Amino acid sequence: MREERRSAIVLSRRFEVPRELVFLGYSEARHLAAWWGPRGLSVACCELDFRVGGSFRYCLRLPDGHEMWAKLTYREITRPGRIVYTDAFADENGATIRAPFSVDWPLEVQNSLSLTEQGGVTMLEMRVSPLDATTAERRSFVAACTAVAHCINGSLDALSRHLAARLALGLTAG
């Protein structure tokens, strides 16, 4: 992880699978439900409308049984190379709400994914930054960059295992 302009997280990840398979991991509900979210949490419910303007609404279940709702709203989709979405905490109906852990957390965080492939190996580049944030929200985000990057990396580890298992079964895109 490196910090850019003190308000963004930039991550890179190498996947030993074709780019289309990584893209499917982000674009189909059955795949998202298998790997999405920080380590130790499970996706209890998810609804996906994968199109520009559509959303991915999901409920994360914590080990103690508590639930936390969130949603992604897709801003840009270029198959199979780019996905841009905002991420926000939400209520059960999908309305954006403040984060349950901080009144200073940004209402929305923008995530930009770029996927490139060479010889069946995919490189994912991800940039995560607060969107339309106040000074206090930017400070809160910057203070949490290491923890946020850790959570994202845990999710990417789960995606990598999910894709490797799918490839080992001989399943490809589709």
Q: Residue 47: which residues within 8 A CB-CB, separation 6 or more? A: 29, 55, 56, 57, 58
Q: How confident is the model at residue 173 (pLDDT cuts 50, 70, 90)?
A: low
Q: How confident is the model at residue 91 (pLDDT cuts 50, 70, 90)?
A: very high
Domains and CATH numbers, the chain: 2-168 (3.30.530.20)
CB-neighbour burial class of residue 132 (10 A; exposed 0-12, middle 13-18, buried 19+)? exposed
Q: What is the pTM of this model?
A: 0.90
Q: How many CA atoms lie within 13 A of 85 on its CB side?
A: 24
CB-neighbour burial class of residue 145 (10 A; exposed 0-12, middle 13-18, buried 19+)? middle
Q: How confident is the model at residue 20 (pLDDT cuts 50, 70, 90)?
A: very high
- Quick one: pLDDT at residue 38? 83
pLDDT at 3 exceeding the cut of 60:
no
User: What average pLDDT does the structure give for the chain?
Assistant: 90
Strand partners, 88: 71
Q: How confident is the model at residue 4 (pLDDT cuts 50, 70, 90)?
A: very low
pLDDT tens-digit readout, 109-160? 999 999 999 999 999 999 999 999 999 999 999 999 999 999 999 999 999 9
73 three-class SS: strand
Segment 98-103 shows an average pLDDT of: 92
List the structure tokens of 46. 């998810």
